[in-house]
Structure 1
Amino acid sequence: MRTAVKISAIVLAFILASAITLAQNNQCKGQKQAKVPAIKGLTYHKARKKLLAAGWRPLPKKSVSRTKNPEEIDDPDILAGNGPIFWQRGYVELESCSGTGLAYCSFLFKDAYGNRLQVVTSGEELPEQRIYAKVNSLKLFCRGQN
């Protein structure tokens, strides 16, 4: 189990590095797309509301049960860090969370034109202390792009 969590953290770090490199351009040239609102630095909860209002829809990546009990979550990609908190809130777009480092989490959305938007957060999610993870980076995958 620990190996799976470590692998998830490494994969998420790679995704973040790629997202930071490519996040400068949030437009699909010559293609229709939903507007990408300015969400960098916002809490994920506020950013998610703006994305939904702009036409982005959660793209579920997990097929695990919709349990609300953290002890019943068996997917190593969402078991660590902020994963159980976001999963319990019904954020089906959650791809993975790291259990170490800067507490990165990755979320995936899709627009009506087939484009995908990956949102990466960092920071602890401690609602009882009014501390929330914030959007760190974005990566737009235009339709037809891997």
Structure 2
Amino acid sequence: MSPFRLCLALLCGVSASAAAAQDFRTASQVDGLAIRPLSTLPANKAGAPDSEYCFSVNTEPKTPGGRAAAAANWAVTSEVQRDGLDFVTFAGKTTPGTSGSCLIEDGNLAIYRGETLLALIYATERTDRSIGSVEETVAGLRIWDGDWLSAPLADLRLYGDDLAILRNVASEDAFCGGANPVTTVYGLPIHLAREVLAADGWQPSIPKERPDGIPFFRDALIKAGLPEVQDCSGTGFGYCAFEYQSENGAILGVTTAGEGDEGSTPGVVGYSVNCP
């Protein structure tokens, strides 16, 4: 902190936490999402959400920022610690649904350094999507929306210890130290996603055997030319698991939901990589 800023914080009526927020620079390149320096977290005027059956809500926050959000009557939905900062998502309303899902409304993401609030990310009137959670990626952090079936909303990139920029979701994710890239295939029908993944070097991994008693649409997927389907759930959102393998032995697991539109296949809702 510069001597002038220190003077402002200690002698000129500006609190140290407010000065820290002013020193933390932010910008957004995502339409519908704003990020602003902030030093004081407002309380949820609607009161604490009833989130007893919302599995995505953290009832025992671990970080100082998470505990501060819970004390202000917000429902904490995720916490990530990275580069000396805490990233806390919290919501004003949560509604439990099938298969452990949760509709998260009035969601926000707060950035803390210890107990000091630095900035807040929130949805503007230009979007009807809410912030649901945040997770760490190789390049930074990914923000997910609060829909029943959560989808990527934006990426947050950190530059040094004082600059955070919101960006659109990256077109490619890096795994295994960059050795196994995966093109972003969220929302694509699986029969198209597998073609995109093949271009990245991911080949279908066909199971030697499958569990009995799986819903009929698993067999329909096999007949549709998707023998890499591993398993499907018979209730809720109808999740199906697919598996792909790279030349170096990395395993890519892809998850779809539902049966897909007429004449199509289920859409991708998630994926992860097990490195060799």
The TM-score range, normalised by the shorter chain, is 0.5 to 0.7
SS for the counterpart of 2:182 is coil
Partner of 2:202: 56
**Higher alpha-carbon Rg:** 2
2:202–2:246: 8 Å Cα contact kept in structure 1? Answer: yes
CA RMSD of aligned residues (A): 2.8
Deviation at 1:92, TM superposition (A): 2.3
More helix by share: 1
Partner of 2:220: 85
1:121–1:135: 8 Å Cα contact kept in structure 2? Answer: yes
Q: Which amino acid aligns with 1:134?
A: G
2:189–2:265: 8 Å Cα contact kept in structure 1? Answer: yes
Q: Which residue, out of 79, 95, 103, partners 2:230? A: 95
Higher relative contact order (CA closer than 8 Å, sequence separation 6+) = 1
Deviation at 1:132, TM superposition (A): 3.4
Deviation at 1:118, TM superposition (A): 0.2
Q: Deviations over 1:84-139 (max 9, x none)?
A: 1111123221110112111110000001111110000001245xx34531001001
Distance 2:136 2:185 in 1: 12
2:190–2:267: 8 Å Cα contact kept in structure 1? Answer: yes
Q: Report the identity percentage.
A: 28
2:190 aligned with 1:44, yes or no? yes
- Structure 1: segments with no counterpart, 5+ residues: 1-12, 15-20, 65-74
Q: Which residue, out of 270, 273, 276, partners 1:137? A: 270
| TM-score with structure 1 setting the length | 0.64
Distance 2:272 2:206 in 1: 17
Q: Which amino acid aligns with 1:32?
A: A
More strand by share: 2
> 1:1-146 residue pairs with structure 2 within 5 A?
24=137, 26-30=173-177, 32-33=179-180, 35-63=181-209, 75-76=211-212, 79-125=214-260, 129-130=262-263, 132-143=265-276
Distance 1:131 1:123 in 2: 11
| TM-score with structure 2 setting the length | 0.36
